[in-house]
Structure 1
Amino acid sequence: MAIFHQQVVRLRPGTRTDRGGNTVPDWSPGAVDRLAVGRLSVQPAVQIERPGPDRTEVVTGWHVLSAPGTAPDVRSGDRVEYDSLTCEVVGEVARWANPVTGAVHHVEWQMTRATG
């Protein structure tokens, strides 16, 4: 389908142990797992400006849909590189089932980028 022509890079952190002995995400370049994900439609979803006393925060968001019959490996907690920006996956990733077969029909998620 013509609308599913976009691609992103999914970033997933490795893990490390902090000084308290807790396992925490490791976003250092050598620890991150990168995966190109294609056959997507990335649509604008939100843009908000929040003026503050010292700065204005800008939040931009997108809604991402995968092509029918695809199930990209993206989950909550991942980051996504899109259009030279690094975004965060917001909330849970929805995996929609095909009503006839029960297999994944397509996947949807929200991602945002905040600056300011």
Structure 2
Amino acid sequence: MSLLFHQSFVRVRAPLVKDRYSNEKRDWGSAERTLVPGVNIQPAGVPARSEESTDDRQTTVTAWNLQTREGVDLDLLETDRVEFDGMTLEVDGKVGRWPDPFGPGVHHVEARLKEVD
């Protein structure tokens, strides 16, 4: 048994709705939550991307890496959020699905996540 893929997270997927001006936006109050087990989530290694902005208020953006075990695909989109360890993280960019070099399908999935404080 691998010690790396024992973590779980909650995938938060919000539907698109139209506001009173017909603009589409995510309705996070009506989001669907799904428990996803068997992943590895760790702080991004050096050089970790961490940004601070002091324009209007102090904010810190910290990067995290999510990875599945070999042979596991993951239903995760760049528009989803991830609840993990008391944090709400945003998917930062496209979700990477690495192809299996020995056959059809996915070898594993990787996603960059970001926490905004």
In 2, distance between residues paired with 1:51 and 1:18? 30
Q: Once the 2 structures are TM-superposed, how far is the Cα of residue 36 of structure 1 from its aligned partner?
A: 1.0
In 1, distance between residues paired with 2:92 and 2:51? 18
* SS of the residue 1:68 aligns to: coil
Larger strand proportion of the pair? 1
Change (3 A) 1:23 1:69: same
Residue pairs, 1:1-116, within 5 angstroms: 1-28=2-29, 31-45=30-44, 46=48, 48=50, 50=52, 52=54, 55-115=57-117
**Runs of 5+ in structure 1 lacking a partner?**
none
TM-score (norm 1): 0.87
Deviations 1:20-67 (A, max 9, x none): 223321111xx2111111111111113635252653221121011101
Aligned length: 113
TM-score (norm 2): 0.87
Identity of aligned residues (%): 37
- Equivalent AA in structure 1 for residue 106 of structure 2: V
In 1, distance between residues paired with 2:23 and 2:51? 36
